[in-house]
Structure 1
Amino acid sequence: MARFHEILLLIGQLNYTWTNTESLLIYLIAGLARVDKETAIVIFLTLNTTRARIELVERLTKMGKTPAAQRQEILSITQQLGRQAKLRNKYSHCIYSFDETGDQASTQLMAIFDSKDTIKYGKIEQINEAEIARINEVIEQLQEVNREIWAIVDRYAFPR
């Protein structure tokens, strides 16, 4: 059962780290749109998907009034978040299975994959040591993105 708890704690840490970091997009929205934090929160909460929030930040960043250096910094961050979102989405939208001992774990994806003339669903994957290492790596990357966002907010005096 130790493995069972280890995996659940790891997935919890992944989701906490993701949510905490995604919420920092509020400060990027405030600074780029030149609005106060409260307005940025309303905008953030109105967009109900991560993809929409990241796209908004990217589009605001690409506007002509955003200095080139700032543009590159922020686009680098949104690209990283886009890559990390894939793993986070996998573990947020799957079913978990554990054997009787709690030592063997797998995920079953709850998505449909369409091909030309068939569909597939419920892809099953093992949560092995390599996958645990991958999850830990994404958590560390998200923590770094978190620090980078705060540095941008401070450097460009975005509303807090």
Structure 2
Amino acid sequence: MPRFQEILLLVGQLNYTWTNTESLLIYLIAGLAKVDKETAIIIFLTLNTTRARIELVERLAKMPKTAADCRQAVLTVTGKLTRQAKLRNKYSHCIYSFDESGSHGSTQLMRIVDGKDDVKYGKIEALDDKEMGRIHDSIEDIRAINKDIWSIVVDNSFPR
């Protein structure tokens, strides 16, 4: 299979796994804020970035009324989710380039980096075997985070 098709499948799987897992923050919001699932959905959808959703969950977990073991579990899982967001964001917001055969590819990041005296943008990176492995690993890590969130929900009897 050409690298072009492989990367399309992997990025699709990465985004599906990410979206499925990010939506589980609804249950953490419901449980930590002590609201029903429908209210948590409205809160989740009102916050339009992953960062805002994770920050809300972390702040709710840090409230004095949250049991220490629950707080630690939530903060651990949100830390893992935040780390995985970087790779997911890279592949969701970059430009892809492939050679004519679709066998060799690269990404170009669509981000500006301000230096002291200059501006840089469009960092180019190869889609080599090492990078493909990073994507595979990230998908597996996000799946594990998914299971961790479900454990928190069940262990703390959060609304489902």
**Residue 156 (structure 1) aligned with residue 148 (structure 2):** no
Q: Which amino acid aligns with 2:111?
A: A
- Asked if the contact 2:105–2:127 (Cα under 8 Å) also holds between the matched residues in 1, the reply is yes
1:116 shift after superposition: 1.2
Structure 1: runs of 5 or more not aligned: none
**Residue 118 (structure 1) aligned with residue 121 (structure 2):** no
1:85 shift after superposition: 0.3
Equivalent pairs counted in the alignment come to 160
1:151 shift after superposition: 1.0
Which residue is equivalent to 1:77?
Answer: 77
Runs of 4+ in structure 1 deviating by more than 4 angstroms, as ranges, are: none
Whole-Å Cα distance in 2 between the matches of residues 69 and 129 of structure 1?
A: 40
1:1-160 to 2 correspondences below 5 Å:
2-160=2-160
Whole-Å Cα distance in 2 between the matches of residues 7 and 85 of structure 1?
A: 18
Whole-Å Cα distance in 1 between the matches of residues 108 and 53 of structure 2?
A: 27
Q: Which amino acid aligns with 1:102?
A: G
Report the secondary structure of 1:133's partner residue: helix
Q: What is the TM-score with the length of structure 1 in the denominator?
A: 0.98
Q: Percent identity among equivalent residues?
A: 70
Whole-Å Cα distance in 2 between the matches of residues 3 and 124 of structure 1?
A: 17
Report the secondary structure of 2:63's partner residue: coil
Whole-Å Cα distance in 2 between the matches of residues 90 and 47 of structure 1?
A: 21
Post-superposition CA distance 1:80-136 (Å, at most 9, x none): 001000000000110000100000010000111001121000110001000010111
Whole-Å Cα distance in 2 between the matches of residues 53 and 152 of structure 1?
A: 17
Q: Which amino acid aligns with 1:84?
A: Q
1:4 shift after superposition: 1.1
Whole-Å Cα distance in 2 between the matches of residues 149 and 78 of structure 1?
A: 9
1:2 shift after superposition: 2.4
Whole-Å Cα distance in 1 between the matches of residues 102 and 2 of structure 2?
A: 7
- Asked if the contact 2:2–2:101 (Cα under 8 Å) also holds between the matched residues in 1, the reply is no
Whole-Å Cα distance in 1 between the matches of residues 49 and 142 of structure 2?
A: 18
Structure 2: runs of 5 or more not aligned: none
